[in-house]
Every structure is written in structure tokens, then in C-alpha cells.
């Protein structure tokens, strides 16, 4: 059943010893005496360390919320009461306590447990969008819905981090929640002073002042940002003191209006390599040795992010006008080296992509060339600013989109598959997708030299492949093979290598194949249209949505130019893709060499039969 009422259950508590991992549940937790809870917390931490180090995932955030999540499930009654986890990467403990501990053996693997809340997994999961700063808006709507349906006995409890609270959407929600007078709404502020890195901005300073106040479960006597917005304020509370957290949550239930419970936690609590992690490398981890917290052997390949970061720092040494912006992800987007060398030229704006892009417009108006480095999936949030604040003013701003295409185990909300579709409608924008490290360096330099409008570079997550040199160049199109006449394979960005392998397979069947890699795909290079006109079939291959991607735009351009040869587009389907490895998901969508070959042969055969 979907969330909406308490599910039926035949579980029972055998005495009060029911804290084994396989038997954890909200009902069991509520029956345990307080003195047994530290043992449960220790079991959960041990299981987190064991399973996340084996599979990879979000380790630090979950270690920090063990006691808090136990208390939430003891004081509130999920799913009758709605627990809404902002971002969701800290919901592993919630999953363990709602009957999914055994599933962690296949955490973030295809067909296995999601790394975020998932409505298909459990009635206890209300929200699975893992973009930050949303929980308070969901909570506002849920509270209004419960009231409208006469369900006045149901609590709504959003759990939001101090990092997520820097997002503009969170402030929009606070503005409405404080005036709505929701009687059964408790905002739990999980304050660990960090998102990926230390939380930035005036709000972070304000929370630091509050953290230094005298802790207590009673409403504080002084004013703060929350009380001024209409909330009662409880805290700060030691988030690792179960008795204190429970007392504060119980007190919150008696306030009779919207209330903020300020809980102070330590990211990575209880695991030395994570608790003392100043670089936040333990926020999200790959496979680790749990005893030492060090990466497994063979996992230190040079990544696309590494290449971008080192090249940007090199170019910035030659260009004093180059500045960089990040939305709370300086290290994950490759800006760490730039920040070390030019600390006054990098700006961390917090989880605020809209502000980052609009601020970049101002920087550009002031004579600088800003580089906005974000994950591709998070560009969605700043589309209006890109369109109306950057492109409309024809400003030279460069966006660098990491994790473009299939990202793998993080799932639907993190696949970077929407950006190309959105970008294709922006007038004056130039879009490139490098195919290897060499072209990434070249295209980044070209982007920084462009003074005519916005430029965008996109590249995937993971190790950068070996360089794929061009045999020749036609304008903005690199030819990776000699020119053929039967099939033109257009490999966009990281898909160029798969097209080369497919070319060999098609050549074995006697077909003459050209492999082209457009350097700049938007606007469509005229040389690509000329190439398409010279082949019986053009197949475009991209690891972004087929809807509005390179293939769609090229096909429309060829139609406008009255070119009759068909253009077959291969890309990601118009659906939400689940989690799994990049190779698995590319194979399932036909974007590996065998799939490309099969598609090209099928289109040619269909054309032969129709002739």
C-alpha cells in the first residue's frame, strides 16, 4: 500500500530483546527501554560501515543520524506520520529501521536497494526526489492535505540539513510554513555544519551562534531566524544523546504550532576515518577497506573531473579574469586545485544553483569570465537563470556539467540526462561534449575564449578514456575514421569510443562507415549536415535524452535543408532510469557497440524493404 495509513502487521516483540538487524522495525523500537538503544545504535553503525564500505554509497551522512533516526521512529509513527528526508542520502538508517536491513547486501546495485528513499520499496518512504531543499515544501503540502481531509492526528516531520537549508526553495517554504499555523508540523534541523564541505554563508554563521547557546528542550527565549518566521524553536540539542533528542521531540509535539527542533550532529560519527574527515571524502565512498577507510586497490584512475580541474587551474594562471563558482560541491566538481591556487577567485554559494548562475551573470557583466561547475542533473534548477539572465544578455559564462549522462548507482534523480534537452532551446548557447581528456582541455580553452554568449561543456562520471585522435577535422567536426558512404555514426562526447567499435562490426558486414565526433554540437555544425547528406544513413549516439538531444536537432536541421537521407537517433529513453552501473544501463538502452550495430542494420534493412 502507499502511505496513507498504518499497514497491518503480525510482528510482535518477544520481551524487550528484539534489536537484531533482521527484526528492526518502528514498533520494535518503540517497545525497547531507553537503556537498550545505545546497543541498537552501535549495531546500526557497524552494519553501515560493513555494508557501505563493501558496496559504496553515502557513509558520513548516515553515520551522523543514527540516534536521530532511532528517536524519530520512537516518537512518531511512520508511515501514519510522514517522515520526509531532505536530499535522502541520510536515509539508510531509516531503511534499516523499516525492515530493509537485509537488502543492504545489494545497496545501489541494479535490482537492489536504492541509495535514496524509494516509494516502490516501502510505505515508509514518502519522497524519492534526492535533490536538496525540497522537504519543507513537501511538508507544507502534506500538512495542508492532511488538514483538508480531516486527518488532524497525523504529524508531518521534514528532516532538513543545514546545507540543504541554504537552498532558495527551503526559504520559500519556511516563509509559508511559518504563517500557515500547521499544528502538527515539526521541522527537524540536522545541523552538522556541512553539506559536502563546510556550510557557507550568513545562515551558517547564524546557526553557529545558535549552536553555542545553552542547549535545552524548552523553547528558547531569544529571537532567531526561525522565531522571526513564525516557528517555535527548540534546541540546540545533542543529536547523539538519545534521551535529549527524544525529550525535544516529545516537547515539540506539545507546542501547538510549527516548530523547529535544532539537532546538532557530527558527520561520520563513530567511525574514525569519517568523523575526522576534513575533506569530506567520506561523504560518498566507493569500495573501501572498512578497517582503514582507504580505497580498494585499483580504484585511483584519472577521472574526467581530475582533467577538468587541473586544466582549469592551469588556464586560470594565464587568465586573471577567470573565476569559478560552485554550489556546495567544490571538491566533487573538480575545483579544489583552483581554490588552493586562487582562493579569492572561487565562490561557494551553498546549495543554490539558481543563485550561482545569476551571480555568474553579474560577474560576467562586471568583466570577468565565470565558470559554473555543477552536476548535470542540478543544472535543471537553474534553467530560467541560464535562459533569461545569461543567454538573453549574451553573456560569456561557461558552465561545466559533471556527471552528464548515466551516472550509475545514484539512480533516477542523479542521471545527467536532461541537460542537453533543456540546453537545445537556449538561443546563442554553444554546447560541447569532449570525447577524451585531450578534447576536454582544448574545448575548455575555447569556451573561456568565447566572448559571444554562454558555453557549456558536459562529461560523464568516471575514468577518462584513452585519447581518440582525429584523422582529420572539418570545421567543428572531428573525423575519427576515413570518410565512408553507407553509414555515418555520430558519437557525441563519451559515446565516440562505442561508435568506433560499432564501425568495426559494420565494416565486417561490408559497410562503408564514417565515425564523426562533433566538437561543438550546438548550434549544429554545417559540416555535420554535409556529412549526413553524403551517407545512406546517419546514426547519432548520445548518453542524454533522445528527446531534444543532438539527434533530434540534427534531424530537424537536415529536414530544413531538404536532405532526404534518414537520421536515426540513439539515446536515453524518455523515462526515469533506475540505479545500476553505467555499463549495465548503457547496455539496457542499446548504447553499447552491439546495440549501435544492431540498430544501424535494422534501419538499413527497413529502408531496403521499403525501396
* CA 559/CA 536 separation, integer angstroms: 15
Residue 190 labeled ligand binder: no
Q: Residue 565, Cβ neighbours under 10 Å: how many? A: 14
Residue 58 labeled ligand binder: no
Residue 605 labeled ligand binder: no
Residue 353 labeled ligand binder: yes
Cβ atoms of 476 and 519 closer than 8 Å: yes
- Residue environment code for 152-185, b if the CB has 16+ CB neighbours within 10 A, otherwise e: eebbbbbbbbbbbbbbebbbebbebbbebebebb
Residue 162 labeled ligand binder: yes
Kindly report the three-state secondary structure assignment for every residue of 338-362. HHHHCHHHEEECCCCHHHHHHHHHH
Residue 55 labeled ligand binder: no
* CA 498/CA 516 separation, integer angstroms: 12
* CA 603/CA 540 separation, integer angstroms: 13
Which active-site residues does the annotation give? 267, 353, 381
Residue 131 labeled ligand binder: yes
C-alpha cell at position 87: 536530499
Would you state the torsion angle of the CA atoms of residues 207, 211, 215, 219, taken in this order, to the nearest 10 degrees? -10
Residue 182 labeled ligand binder: no
* CA 447/CA 429 separation, integer angstroms: 11
Residue 352 labeled ligand binder: no
Tell me the helix, strand and coil percentages in the chain, rounded to 5: 40, 20, 40
Cβ atoms of 493 and 458 closer than 8 Å: yes
Strands 513-518 and 520-522: unpaired
Q: Residue 400, Cβ neighbours under 10 Å: how many? A: 26
Grid coordinates 558496496 are at which residue? 55
Query: Which residues partner with 83 through β-bridges?
Result: 157
C-alpha cell at position 431: 554546447
Residue 235 labeled ligand binder: no
Q: Residue 570, Cβ neighbours under 10 Å: how many? A: 25
- Binding-site entries: 89, 130-132, 162-164, 192, 271, 353
- Numbered residues of the known binding site for Mg(2+): 162, 192
Amino acid at each position: 500500500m502507499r502511505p496513507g495509513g498504518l499497514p497491518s502487521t503480525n510482528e510482535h516483540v518477544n520481551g524487550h530483546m528484539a534489536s537484531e538487524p533482521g527484526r528492526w522495525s518502528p514498533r520494535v523500537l518503540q517497545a525497547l527501554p531507553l537503556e537498550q538503544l545505545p546497543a541498537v545504535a552501535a549495531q546500526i553503525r557497524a552494519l553501515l560501515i560493513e555494508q557501505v564500505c563493501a558496496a559504496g554509497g553515502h557513509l558520513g551522512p548516515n553515520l551522523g543520524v543514527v540516534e536521530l533516526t532511532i528517536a524519530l521512529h520512537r516518537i512518531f509513527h511512520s508511515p501514519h506520520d510522514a517522515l520526509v528526508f531532505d536530499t535522502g542520502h541520510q536515509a539508510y538508517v531509516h531503511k534499516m529501521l523499516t525492515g530493509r536491513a537485509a537488502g543492504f547486501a545489494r545497496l545501489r546495485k541494479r535490482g537492489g536497494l536504492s541509495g535514496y528513499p524509494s516509494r516502490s520499496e516501502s510505505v515508509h518512504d514518502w519522497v524519492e526526489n534526492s535533490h536538496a531543499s525540497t522537504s519543507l515544501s513537501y511538508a507544507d503540502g502534506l500538512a495542508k492535505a492532511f488538514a483538508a481531509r480531516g486527518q488532524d492526528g497525523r504529524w508531518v516531520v521534514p528532516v532538513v540539513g543545514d546545507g540543504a537549508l541554504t537552498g532558495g526553495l527551503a526559504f520559500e517554504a519556511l516563509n509559508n510554513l511559518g504563517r500557515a499555523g500547521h499544528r502538527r508540523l515539526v521541522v527537524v534541523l540536522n545541523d552538522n555544519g556541512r553539506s559536502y564541505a563546510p556550510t557557507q554563508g550568513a545562515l551558517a554563521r547564524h546557526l553557529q551562534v545558535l549552536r553555542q547557546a545553552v542547549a535545552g528542550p524548552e523553547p528558547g527565549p531569544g529571537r532567531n531566524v526561525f522565531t522571526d518566521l513564525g516557528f517555535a524553536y527548540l534546541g540546540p540539542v545533542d543529536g547523539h544523546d538519545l534521551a535529549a533528542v527524544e525529550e525535544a521531540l516529545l516537547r515539540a509535539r506539545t507546542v501547538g504550532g510549527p516548530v523547529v527542533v535544532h539537532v546538532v550532529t557530527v558527520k561520520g560519527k563513530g567511525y574514525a576515518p569519517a568523523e575526522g574527515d576534513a575533506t569530506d571524502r567520506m561523504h560518498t565512498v566507493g569500495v573501501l577497506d572498512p578497517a582503514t577507510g582507504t580505497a580498494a586497490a585499483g580504484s585511483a584512475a584519472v577521472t574526467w573531473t581530475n582533467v577538468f580541474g587541473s586544466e582549469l587551474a592551469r588556464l586560470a594562471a594565464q587568465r586573471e579574469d577567470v573565476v569559478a563558482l560552485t554550489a556546495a560541491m567544490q571538491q566533487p566538481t573538480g575545483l579544489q586545485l583552483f581554490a588552493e591556487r586562487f582562493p579569492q577567485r572561487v565562490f561557494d554559494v551553498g546549495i543554490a544553483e539558481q543563485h550561482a548562475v545569476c551571480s555568474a551573470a553579474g560577474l560576467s557583466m562586471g568583466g570577468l569570465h565565470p565558470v559554473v561547475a555543477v552536476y548535470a542533473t542540478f543544472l535543471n534548477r537553474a534553467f530560467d537563470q541560464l535562459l533569461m539572465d545569461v543567454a538573453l544578455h549574451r553573456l560569456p559564462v561557461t558552465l561545466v556539467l559533471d556527471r552528464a549522462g548515466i551516472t550509475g548507482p545514484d539512480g533516477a534523480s542523479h542521471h545527467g540526462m536532461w541537460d542537453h534537452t533543456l540546453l537545445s532551446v537556449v538561443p546563442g548557447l554553444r554546447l560541447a561534449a569532449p570525447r577524451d581528456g585531450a578534447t576536454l582541455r582544448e574545448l575548455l580553452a575555447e569556451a573561456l575564449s568565447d566572448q559571444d554568449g554562454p558555453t557549456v561543456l558536459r562529461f560523464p562520471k568516471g575514468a577518462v578514456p584513452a585519447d581518440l585522435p582525429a584523422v582529420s577535422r572539418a570545421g567543428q567536426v572531428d573525423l575519427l575514421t576515413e570518410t565512408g558512404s553507407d553509414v555515418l555514426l555520430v558519437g557525441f562526447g563519451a559515446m565516440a569510443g562505442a561508435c568506433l567499435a560499432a564501425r568495426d562490426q559494420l565494416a565486417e558486414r561490408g559497410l562503408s562507415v564514417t565515425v564523426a565526433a562533433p566538437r561543438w554540437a550546438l548550434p549544429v555544425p554545417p559540416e555535420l549536415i554535409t556529412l549526413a547528406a553524403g551517407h545512406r544513413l546517419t546514426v547519432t549516439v548520445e548518453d542524454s535524452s533522445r528527446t531534444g538531444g543532438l539527434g533530434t536537432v540534427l534531424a530537424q536541421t537536415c529536414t530544413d535543408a531538404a536532405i532526404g537521407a534518414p537520421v536515426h537517433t540513439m539515446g536515453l529513453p524518455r523515462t526515469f532510469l533506475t540505479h545500476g552501473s553505467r555499463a549495465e544501463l548503457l547496455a539496457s538502452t542499446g548504447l553499447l557497440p552491439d546495440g549501435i550495430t544492431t540498430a544501424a542494420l535494422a534501419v538499413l534493412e527497413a529502408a531496403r524493404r521499403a525501396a
